Structure 1
Amino acid sequence: MTAIDMDRRTLSDATPLTVPMDSAPATPASDCAVALRDVDIAFGRNVKAALALSDEGLTRDEIRRRTDVLMGTFKVSLDVRPGEICVLMGLSGSGKSTVLRAINGLNKVARGAVLVRHRGEPVDVTRCRAATLREVRLNTVSMVFQQFGLLPWRSVRDNVGFGLELRGVPAAERNRTVDEKLAMVGLESWADKMVQELSGGMQQRVGLARAFATDADILLMDEPFSALDPLIRDKLQDDLLELQRRLNKTIVFVSHDLSEALKLGNRIAIMEGGHVVQYGTPSDIVLRPANAYVAEFVKHMNPLEVFDSGAVMTPASALRRDGDAVILDGSGEVRLRLDRAERPVSAEIRGREMPLGRVDGSGAGGGETPGVVVAPVDLPLRAAIDLRLRSPYPIVFVDDLGRLAGLCDHGEIYRGLLQNP
């Protein structure tokens, strides 16, 4: 196989991904933005012997004692879908930054594959040509560092445009892009300042603007907010989520803060000693911890920060029905009419037909409606509580196709808050 053929081999030709200790099926490999397959990373000279001991099941400490090789990861397999935020979470030394740095080839992989979708084709960054890896780094993958990684002898504008400059983008086009990204992070008036004139939070915004300026599809973020004060960190987390709603990038985010991971992550990989011990959604992690290590992490979490409504609702299959209507209350006076595709179309309240109120994924749009409200099933529980307070009737939840998914009333909310994972 030639180097070019190796770069262009399809994800579907490879063995399907397996996700450790997660009951949910893995995303089909052809749909991944980033896919890690059985990735072993080792630091030291006698790597072959260390891998052999790893295959025998020896621990990281035992392998290091015998070979003087540090195993950074053990057969890590992950799938990251386009447009999602995947958080690598764990204590110091768990291997999360080691995995992150393998995605753009900064850490050498001893065994396994790291597949990155570059210009519509999967590229294995562990085996591709140096020129291809350089293209991936310039055009597809951008990185935001914990310590900002800014060039102190350059202005804010020149720092943000540095990646574009390396790419050879003309100055006029580069400045237009830089101005746009600085406005996006609220720093347009600081463009000509030197970076040392900015506070820590502002410097981190410069790092974000620089990453977004390259228009890379994949962003790697290595504990970017951990050195900041709590209030600044919380604000930048909100800013990142807002930017993500607008730009829909694929983000792999390293954190040692569980609250941050649960707030940001569509899915979270919990790491311990170089292993991924659980990979799933925030509610999966909190409701169904895979082992005692994960359970210890999550035992003090506030469910309002974690659960979506799907975790507490009564599913559609358990609701009472009368013909094409679903009974929403104990008396049978509140009914929901469905079409043939199981999509809610109207409500009937004490014999009177009424239109449905609709809200978005944040809970906005319902208003003080006198009728039945329909919301997406992934509505955060906090938003569901507020919505139920504004409506006299249970909330109806629908899936991505608009089909009835379930029902949430006060009873479901109370049970969700009282759950003890």
Structure 2
Amino acid sequence: MSENGLSSAAANSSESETTQVPFANEASLHGPKHVTVPQEYDAIMLAGFGGPEGQDDVIPFLRNVTRGRGIPDERLEEVATHYRHFGGVSPINEHNRQLRQAIEDEMRRRGLDLPIYWGNRNWAPYLEEKVKEAADAGHTRILGVATSAYSSYSSCRQYREDFARAILDNGLEGKVRIDKVRQFFDVPGFVKPFADGVADALKGFADQGVAPEDIRVLFATHSIPTADAERSGPQELGLGEGGAYAAQHLAVGGQIMEQLREEGKAGAETQWELVYQSRSGPPSQPWLEPDVCDRIAELPAEGAKAVAVVPLGFLSDHMEVMWDLDEEAMEAAEEAGLHAVRTPTPGSHADFVSSVVDLIEERMQATPVDQRPHMTDLGPWFDVCRPGCCENVRLGFKPAASGVKP
């Protein structure tokens, strides 16, 4: 696929290419949209969200997630019931252990002898501790891989803030540099597991005698405040309502369905749409809609007989997949009288792991833009986030690595 409109629009920007990027290695220091100079790294940092691993961890973990918002424990306990339903254990940490090992194995297979650290934002092992551990071991030129594919405050900029905070809180400014691989929403290895899951779901429905026109495919992702969504990605791209966050999901969902139709695995009549889940803000605050369960309830009146729920916004089967989709969405489908299935997430799928290592090599080698794999017209995304990218309206701009200030 040739270089896209995103890169062309960015190239027309008047912003200076000499703007300094905080905490960056040399090839990224002056803010190129895509690096053009090979870069040496001495460690990889896998950055995750984190999750509790026992009943006693649940409330302390939720306090970490909601820090600064003044939410009392009794309200946190309402959310805690989801974790307690599964013994107080979120699978996200184990998924990241498996992912870290799989990335390490693939790197070794390719002859890349770099240590891989793993740290979380909200639970042990904490990112701040892992950055210090890397620095104490003499590793100061770090390439970060965040376990989130899309552009928004919580899925990109907040990880960049985490990197900056880890450097500043440990007194490592000027000593440790951290870059970050580009957002990977449309790299082949991330998209393929979702496409395979949709194909399997459609075949299963067909085997049950459901016609293609009676099937709905709902691509589900985490809802976020509309004000944050509008500010996701570079504002210069003018991606409209929902910003880059919605545009990226829609592009990937469309690519999957187009590919399956071309391969004869999906009917031309099979309808799909993007839906949202897991909103947590006050009712007065607008968040992205429609809600996945609300849409499922409406489908029978539209002639649907089956629904495939695809967790497109999620890398692995963590709590919001297991509870909000496997429990609540499947219950909504049962109440609506629909055949229903929830398709898999990439997790540590071999194709996804291969794409992660491709991204690491791409950054180290400064692969030319027109040789970088991507499956939508929005890719390949930026190596260095653009000024003001993914602002959080409530919190404002905090120090962040791997992006042009602010």
TM-score, structure 1 normalization: 0.24
Determine which structure has greater relative contact order: mean sequence separation of CA pairs < 8 Å that are 6+ residues apart, divided by chain length: 2
Structure showing the higher strand proportion among its residues: 1
Structure showing the higher helix proportion among its residues: 2
TM-score, structure 2 normalization: 0.25
